[in-house]
Amino acid sequence: MAREAGRELAFAVPGDPELTTGGYLYDRRLAEALVARGITLRHLRLGDSFPHPDARDMADALAQLGALPRDCPALVDGLAYGALDPDGVARLAAPMVALVHHPLALEPGLSAAQAQAMAARERANLSRARHIVVTSGHIAGLLREAYGVAPERISVARPGFVVPNLSPEPEVPPLILSVGLLARRKGHDVLLRALARITDLEWRAVIVGRLHEPETVAALHALRADLGLAERVEIAGEITQPALEALYGRATLFALATRYEGYGIVFDEAMGHGLPIVSTQAGAVPETVAPGAGILVPPEDDAAFGAALRRMLSEPAWRAGCADAARQAAAGLGDWAAAAQVVSDAVRVHTSAE
């Protein structure tokens, strides 16, 4: 692996970098791989209020980025970059590279006016970036089609993955594992309604994810009670990585009824643990979940999702075939060194002195 000793790169990430969501995991693993290449990282921690920054966090973010030397490029997580004041971005001297996990304007729950305003801000800021790094071909296509970004201004750095060396011990009755932020976009309400359709089967379910939207968390607990699933479904919230690994090892299948994914790093995790997957055809999911590794249904369709869960639980041979396809696909995934090389090359080529 080529080393790049002496090169400096600022990496700006909003909020707590130790959070266990897919986006933050991506940022941490990418940072580690960049350092392994010999790059000196200057970490910038931006405010917790992004992507809807208050005045204080906005001013602080622009001040931190504005204090960078002209020869120190900055890789800025899209959770913040797309939400920055465009006039402030225009005044920055250091070259900016945007790291876009998914466009902020596509977050479910925004009003039409909010989404339009967010898209306009993102479009303006992306036009001022020296280059844009995305996590999937799906997001690259969205930026080209919806934001007018030229293809040569985009590099795709897929998440890396290391196949775990574990011996799974599936629970009896089967454990259905779901991992994703407790946010409306992740579709846990659809999953609960789907599970209510298969209560004649033996199973239990655990939903793991950071408490991201308080109103969504409250609604999920209420829906679980209304559906009579309190004894069979655990809403675990955020847990440690060792505890999550243990759940992957005890699970029979992975289920995420997401409404949208820009990539979905949890699908790589699930395939790496040999779990068949039930999910949706939303966003980048079809290009992330390997063919044959699971069943994908339309988003928002709890009947179809429930039918897919029933098939996975009721047909062991089918389930085993999906598990084999998942393991084979995971073995072929790239590592974090490959992702870091894409980012490093993009920064080197597109932020050199003019």
Q: Quick one: pLDDT at residue 167?
A: 78
Q: Give the pLDDT of residue 2.
A: 56
- Is 20's pLDDT higher than 70? no
CATH 3.40.50.2000 in the chain is located at 8-160+334-350, 175-331
- 301-349 pLDDT, tens digit each: 999 999 999 999 999 999 999 999 999 999 888 889 999 999 999 999 8
- Residues 30, 336: Cα–Cα separation, whole Å: 6
Count the neighbouring beta carbons within 10 Å of the beta carbon of residue 136: 23
The more confidently predicted of residues 98 and 136 is: 98
| pLDDT tens-place string over residues 49-77 | 999 999 999 999 999 999 999 999 999 99
Distance between CA atoms of residues 101 and 83, nearest Å: 13
pLDDT greater than 60 at residue 354: no
Any idea which of 8-17, 195-204, 225-234 has the lowest mean pLDDT?
8-17
> Locate tokens 């974090």: which residue?
336
Tell me, rounded to whole angstroms, the distance of Cα 124 from its chain centroid. Answer: 23
- Give whole-number Cα distances, 59 to 53, 65, 77, 172, in Å: 9, 10, 17, 53
The pLDDT of residue 297 is 98
CA distance 278 to 229: 19
- Torsion sign, CA atoms 234, 237, 243, 249: positive
Tokens found for residue 256:
């995420």
Question: What is the distance between the alpha carbons of residues 222 and 230, in angstroms, rounded to a whole number?
Answer: 10
**Segment among 99-113, 114-128, 172-186, 198-212 with least mean pLDDT:** 99-113
Question: How many angstroms separate the CA atoms of 160 and 135, rounded?
Answer: 10
Per CATH, the homologous superfamily of domain 8-160+334-350 is: Glycogen Phosphorylase B; (3.40.50.2000)
CA distance 249 to 322: 16
**Which residues, other chains included, contact 324 with Cβ-Cβ below 8 Å and sequence gap of 6+?**
274
C-alpha 79, offset from chain centre = 11
Phi, psi of 253 (to 5 degrees): -155, 160
Average pLDDT over residues 21-37: 88
Structure-block tokens of residue 54: 């208050």
**Mean per-residue pLDDT for 292-301?**
98
Q: What is the structure's pLDDT at 92?
A: 97
Asked which of 32-41, 107-116, 199-208, 217-226 is least confident by mean pLDDT, the reply is: 107-116
CATH class of 175-331: alpha beta
Find out whether 76 and 98 touch, Cβ atoms under 8 Å.
yes
Query: From CA 270, how far away is CA 248, in angstroms rounded?
Result: 7
Query: pLDDT tens digits for 67-110?
Result: 999 999 999 999 999 999 999 999 999 999 999 998 988 877 78
Which pLDDT score is estimated for 164? Answer: 72
d(CA 107, CA 123): 15
Mean residue pLDDT across the chain = 92
**Contacts of residue 64, Cβ cutoff 8 Å, sequence gap at least 6:** 12, 44, 46
Looking only at the bridges linking them, the beta strands covering 96-100 and 74-77 are parallel
Spatial strand order of the sheet with 8-14 comes to: 40-46, 8-14, 74-77, 96-100, 131-134, 154-156
**Do 132 and 155 contact (CB within 8 A), yes or no?**
yes
- Kindly state the DSSP code that residue 181 receives in the 8-state scheme: -
Confidence of residue 24 (pLDDT cuts 50, 70, 90): confident
